[in-house]
Amino acid sequence: MDLLFEKSVMDRRSELLPPLDVPETALPEQLARKTAPLLPELSEGDLSRHYSALEKRAYGVNSGFYPLGSCTMKYNPAVNEKCAKLPGFCEIHPLQPESSVQGCLAALALAEEYLTEITGMDRMTFQPAAGAQGEFTGLMLIKKYHEARGDHRRKKIIIPDSAHGTNPATVSMCGMEVVNIPSDEDGCINIERLKAAVSADTAGMMLTNPNTLGIFEKDILSITEIVHEAGGLVYYDGANLNAVMGVVRPGDMGFDIIHLNLHKTFSTPHGGGGPGCGAVGCKNFLEPYLPYPVVTKTDNGFRLDYDRPDSIGRVKGYYGNFLVVVKALAYLMTLGKEGIPLSAKTAVLNANYFMHLLKKRYTVATTGVCMHEFVISMEREKKERGVTATEIAKALIDRNIHPPTVYFPLIVKEALMVEPVETESKETLDEAARVFAEIYDAAMEDPGAVHACPQTTPIGRPDEVAAARNPVLRYRREDNDGA
């Protein structure tokens, strides 16, 4: 399909502004831009059709089953969107007088109150814009904590080899070093290896619980204790909180810091890759180091406290992705005390039920129960019949199912990471299991058959190697003139 630029017709435009109503002031010539930017010239109708066509070439949670592991693709409630569109939230300038933004500050304070209660933390900041920035903020809290105590030796962060790639990348951004520890077969921490890894230079540890194989770390209390005894802090990567929200609190497991992905666990949409919110919670002893400003209660309302001499500083402009917090708050209010744990438990039930159905053919990387997700390995099928995780993924696309996460975690070969989430019905899971089974049988019988998938999509498999070798990252008119 054509690009906006290819549909552009010179001098086509819509009138969106009234004529200038003050005397015109001309920009001095020497300051003026020489070449006009190439922007498309289209009617509003052209635009409407263009984006409707693009929408048909996309797939959202509204389009069908989306069991993308580690991404918690739950239903995004309509009421959340409605609340975030209220003029009293979206027409507010971030630097308005405090007395005129009491509703915004109250919303932030309320979201903090609910989420610290659910996570077992004492304070929370919503400034980080995404999970990765939440991690960055969390690790800076660890860095600052040691620095403030004059403990400059502590530079090492322990990370299990099953961790998401952001964990080690974040450690580097904080000028610290990664100590990788190999996981056990079920992705769990090996206590002996952990004991051997901690030392006087341990700054902390980053951990997801349940882990990336969907298993709850049964030794979690020992793990956090070992790190604490060595003088380090323990950071909870909130990617997998959906399994345990309202059931068990990371704060009670011994974690000092947590980041949440409000766009996963708390139902705010992913937007095709953002905006999200990577809220960071911490225990009281780390509160002085939180990014400023901090929302503080006063006798007659709330204020923004900028006087934070020990703060790590500001990690982003203003107060974070505020409207995302509004959406999460609407969700928290809706589910409440009973709904939050019930959602977690249903997610775990759905995952175990779906795993049970798939196990009839597929090999699951772990034994026993899983939490909210599980990992399939196609290693044997690849060896025996050349059927890879990619083949299954691409075949699912033709059956209107979004593929699971592929090739992650790295510790499982030919991984398919499946997270069915609580907002899927039994009928959806039964039907999806039938499709997974059919694809499996067809692929094992005739591996060539799935190789041509997908066929129902606007494009077939793209040449990613060519894309990287000879990058075309934008449209250029001169490249396309006369083409």
Partner 1 sequence: MAHYLPSTDVQRAEMLGAIGRGSIDELYAAVPQLLLQESGPNIPAGLSELEVTRKMSRLAEKNTVFRASFRGAGAYRHYRPAIVDAVTSKETFVTAYTPYQAELSQGILQSIFEYQTMIAELMGLDSSNASVYDGATATAEAAAMCRDRKRGVTLISETAHPEVIETVKTYCWAANNEVRVIPAKDGLTDLDELRKNMSEDVSGVYLMQPNYFGLIEDCEAAAEIIHEGGAKCIMGVNPIAAAILRSPGECGADIAVGEGQPLGMPLSFGGPYLGFMAATGAMTRKLPGRIVGQTTDDTGRRAFVLTLQAREQHIRREKAGSNICSNQALCAMTAAVYLAAMGPRGLKEVAAQCFSKAHYLARELEACGFKRRHDAEFFHEFLTECPVDTAKLEEHLARHGILAGAFTHGGILWCATEMNTKEEIDRLITLIKEVA
Which residues within the stretch 160-219 sit at the binding site for partner 1 (CB under 8 A)? 164-166, 168-175, 178, 215-218
The structure tokens 């399939």 sit at: 376
Considering only 123, 199, 349, 385, the residue that binds partner 1 (CB under 8 A) is 349
Cβ distance to partner 1 smaller for residue 22 or 380: 22
- Residue 349 beta carbon to partner 1: minimum distance, rounded to whole angstroms: 5
CA-CA-CA-CA dihedral for 69, 72, 78, 83, to nearest 10: -140
Q: Which is nearer to partner 1, 330 or 365 (CB)?
A: 330
Contacts of partner 1 in 303-322 (CB under 8 A) = 312-322
Q: Is 22 in the site for partner 1 (CB under 8 A)?
A: yes
What is the enclosing helix (H) or strand (E) of 329? helix 322-358
Which strand (E) or helix (H) includes residue 50?
helix 44-56
**Is 52 or 284 the residue whose CB approaches partner 1 more closely?**
52
Residue 205 has what DSSP assignment?
E
Residue with smaller CB distance to partner 1, 102 or 296:
102
Q: Report the nearest approach of partner 1 to the CB of residue 453 (Å).
A: 9
231 binds partner 1 (CB under 8 A): no
Maximum Cα interatomic distance, the chain, rounded to a whole number of Å: 78
Nearest residue to 326 via CA among 77, 73, 89 = 89
- 23 vs 482 by CB, closer to partner 1: 23
Query: Of these, 267, 366, 377, 388, which contacts partner 1 (CB under 8 A)?
Result: 267
Does position 150 interact with partner 1 (CB under 8 A)? The reply is no
Q: What is the spatial distance between Cα 317 and Cα 291, in angstroms, rounded to a whole number?
A: 11
Given the rule CB under 8 A, which of 7-15, 230-238, 376-384, 435-443 is the region that contacts partner 1?
7-15
Q: Minimum CB separation from partner 1 for residue 29, in Å?
A: 11
Contacts of partner 1 in 60-99 (CB under 8 A): 60-63, 66, 68, 71, 73-77, 79, 81-83, 86-97
Question: Distance between CA atoms of 280 and 207, rounded to whole angstroms?
Answer: 15
Taking the least distance from each CB to partner 1, the nearer of 235 and 380 is 235
Query: Using the rule CB under 8 A, which residue among 189, 207, 286, 332 binds partner 1?
Result: 332
Rounded to a whole number of angstroms, the minimum distance from the CB of residue 384 to partner 1 is 25
CB of 269 to partner 1, least distance (A): 5
- Site residues (CB under 8 A) for partner 1, limited to 32-61: 32-42, 44, 47-48, 51-61
Answer for which of 150, 309, 448, 458 binds partner 1 (CB under 8 A) is 458
- The answer to whether 174 and 194 are in contact (CB under 8 A) is no
φ and ψ of 385, to 5 deg:
-130, 5
Q: Give the pair of three-digit tokens for residue 331.
A: 């969700």
Measure the CA–CA gap between 213 and 108, rounded to whole angstroms: 33
107 near 331, Cβ under 8 Å?
no
User: What is the DSSP code string of 212-235?
Assistant: TTS---TTHHHHHHHHHHTT-EEE
In what side-by-side order are the strands of the sheet with 363-364? 363-364, 374-377, 415-418, 405-406
Of 22-30, 199-207, 226-234, 377-385: span binding partner 1 (CB under 8 A)? 22-30
Say how far apart CA 227 and CA 198 lie, in whole Å.
7
* Interface residue with partner 1, options 69, 187, 232, 403 (CB under 8 A): 403
Given the complex with partner 1, which of 83 and 286 has the nearer CB atom? 83
- Residue closer to partner 1 by CB (options 248, 384) is 248
Backbone angles phi, psi at 373, to 5 degrees: -150, 165
Query: Is the bond into 293 cis (omega within 30 degrees of 0)?
Result: yes
> Using CB under 8 A, which residues numbered 405 to 434 contact partner 1?
408, 422-426
The amino acid present at 168, given as its one-letter code, is P
| Separation CA 303–CA 454 (nearest Å) | 54
Selected from 201, 303, 379, 397, the binder of partner 1 by CB under 8 A is: 397
Query: Any residues with CB less than 8 A from the CB of 315 and at least 6 apart, and which?
Result: 127, 128, 133, 136, 137, 140, 291
DSSP-based three-state secondary structure for 262: coil
Looking at this protein, which amino acid is placed at residue 162?
S
| Candidate list 69, 107, 206, 258; residue touching partner 1; CB under 8 A | 107
Number of residues that bind partner 1 (CB under 8 A): 194
CB of 199 vs partner 1, minimal distance in Å: 19
Is 471 an interacting residue with respect to partner 1 (CB under 8 A)? yes
Residue 271 makes contact with partner 1 by CB under 8 A: yes
